[in-house]
């Protein structure tokens, strides 16, 4: 066990891993075989020491004087992110947002295969989105267990989100990716990643407002 | 100027502000008049000292022995987030994602008014999404300047995103909220907030994989 303590990988490190993964994938496509922590840091906007620290959390990747083997590091990070296995995914909610997510090619490219969608609307049930069948939401629990689904994407209105999470809590699903603008809870065994779209818009709005705000604060203080 | 240095509000603090805003809004709806930093921290999952530190960045809000006035703090944070003025917004891309975003009621509730959408598809141009007209993307620059639009939401495929950002860089727009799965650049005067949907999914995947990973790392080390 490294002195960094592998059990305590911080959320900040985890959030940076997809960026490493993406950057290394691009390097690989450009046939780059190895890269130094300096250069990798430069591409990502991190310092070299940040890069070394981040990657040290997961064992010894780099070699002094050589740097990182791009392909090896890429594959290792993919494994860390759980991308070496295919994930079976369903989307609950076949409205505009569900359809938009179903059409997002990057998910499948990273091993997230969307097998089915679910909705309450009789006009949508029985239809297909791309090649993905839309089933009645009352068959959700049965389908998820029968097909060993890993991940459920919640793309229903706020009012129905917790109800869907409650249904999912009765399945063997491992993760929920929640797009409804409300936090949902599915018990201790299911991980939930809430997507806070409004927070991201408010962050933009704050940054747009910042210079005015700082002038005001300076005057007041 | 406070000793915290108002000019150096960290991104981490900024990212927490929408959570304060939301929580205080809910308290206000429940007629709560004042709240201590302890209690506010408990609701948000932060420590009391974190709450005091965060809010100190923006001046003196709380009063010793009294806590925070909920309404006053809510309004002040709304101002900090730039929510005291209405933002005029357009969406570029009237496909599934654009339509989903146009239907998101929470945006308008927070003062982000979507005035128009733009697309290249002649089947969409001239139609309406809810009450929002869809115009030809070739009229984008003219419309944005003429109507003093603040924020543009990019909801087009990856391939077209930078082209749209280039067009927007010729306007007086202040912020871009980019949903295309690629970073865009619109010059030094326009703030860009990229929404990395895939990163959020990969974070979930990592967390699902984490216990297995940590076992493996312990064996190796």
Contact between chains at A218 and B1 (C-beta distance less than 8 A): yes
Please tell me if residue B197 touches chain A, with a CB cutoff of 8 Å: yes
pLDDT of residue A1: 37
Looking at residue A2, its pLDDT comes to 39
In A, minimum Cα distance to B5 occurs at A218
Q: Which residues pair with B176 in a beta bridge?
A: B152, B192
* Residues paired with residue B178 on neighbouring β-strands, in sequence order: B154, B194
Radius of gyration of chain A (CA): 21
- Mean pLDDT of chain A, nearest integer: 89
In three-state form (DSSP H/G/I as H, E/B as E, the rest C), the secondary structure along chain A is: CCCCCHHHCCHHHHHHHHHHHHHHHHHHHCCCCEECHHHHHHHHCCCHHHHHHHHHCCCCCCECCCEEEHHHHHHHHHHHCCCCCCEEEEEECCCHHHHHHHCCHHHHHCCEEEEEEEECCCCCCCCEECCEEEEEHHHHHHHHHHCCCCEEEECCCHHHHHHHHHHHCCCCCCEEEECCCCCCCCCCCCEEEECCHHHHHHHHHHHHHHHHHHHHHHHHC
Angle of CA points A174, A178, A181, to nearest 5°: 155
Give the Cα separation of A91 and A140 in Å (integer).
10
pLDDT tens-digit map of A170-204: 999 999 999 998 889 999 999 999 998 888 899 89
User: A204 vs B198: CB contact, 8 Å cut-off?
Assistant: no
pLDDT of the residue at B210: 79
Per-residue confidence band for A3, with pLDDT thresholds at 50, 70 and 90: very low
Q: Is the CB of A195 inside 8 Å of chain B's CB atoms?
A: yes
More confident residue, B4 or A12: A12
Single pTM value for the model: 0.80
Domains along chain A with CATH numbers: 6-80 (1.10.10.10), 87-198 (3.40.50.720)
> Is B151 within 8 Å of B88 (Cβ atoms)?
yes
Break chain B down into helix, strand, coil percent, rounded to 5.
50, 20, 35
A100-127: b (≥16 Cβ within 10 Å) or e? bbbbbeebeebbbebebbbbeeeebbee
Residue pLDDT tens, chain B, 221 long: 334 344 567 778 888 898 899 899 999 999 999 999 999 999 998 899 999 989 888 877 777 778 899 999 999 899 888 888 899 999 999 999 999 999 988 898 889 999 999 999 999 999 999 999 999 999 999 999 999 999 999 999 999 999 999 999 999 999 999 999 888 999 999 999 999 888 889 989 988 887 777 666 666 65
Mean predicted confidence (pLDDT) in A75-102: 93
| Contact of B111 with B85, CB cutoff 8 Å | yes
Interface confidence: ipTM more than 0.85? no
Asked if A21 has any chain B CB less than 8 Å from its own CB, the reply is yes
A82 vs B: CB within 8 A: yes
- Interface with A, mutate which of B2, B18, B57, B201 (most A CBs under 10 A): B201
A6 Cα to chain B: minimum distance (Å): 7
Shortest Cα distance, chain B CAs vs residue A66, angstroms: 22
pLDDT at residue A6 is higher than 90:
no
Interface test with A, best of B10, B58, B96 (most A CBs within 10 A): B96
pLDDT the model gives residue B218: 67
């Amino acid at each position: 066990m490294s002195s960094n303590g592998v059990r305590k990988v911080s959320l900040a490190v985890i959030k940076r891993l997809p960026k490493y993964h993406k950057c290394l994938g691009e390097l690989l496509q450009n046939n780059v075989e190895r890269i130094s922590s300096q250069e990798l840091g430069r591409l990502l906007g991190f310092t070299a020491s940040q890069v070394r620290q981040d990657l040290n959390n997961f064992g010894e990747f780099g070699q002094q004087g050589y740097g990182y083997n791009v392909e090896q590091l890429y594959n290792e990070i993919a494994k860390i992110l759980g991308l070496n296995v295919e994930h079976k995914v369903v989307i609950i909610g076949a409205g505009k947002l569900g359809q938009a997510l179903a059409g997002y090619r990057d998910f499948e490219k990273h091993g997230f295969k969307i097998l089915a969608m679910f909705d309450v609307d009789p006009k949508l049930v029985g239809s297909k989105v791309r090649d993905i069948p839309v089933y009645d939401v009352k068959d959700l629990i049965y389908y998820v267990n029968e097909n060993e689904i890993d991940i459920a994407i919640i793309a229903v209105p706020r009012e129905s989100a917790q109800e869907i999470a409650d249904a999912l809590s009765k399945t063997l699903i491992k993760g929920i990716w929640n797009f409804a603008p409300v936090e949902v809870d599915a018990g201790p065994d299911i991980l939930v990643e809430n997507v806070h779209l409004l927070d991201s818009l408010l962050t933009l709005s704050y940054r747009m407002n910042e210079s005015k705000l700082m002038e005001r604060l300076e005057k007041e203080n």
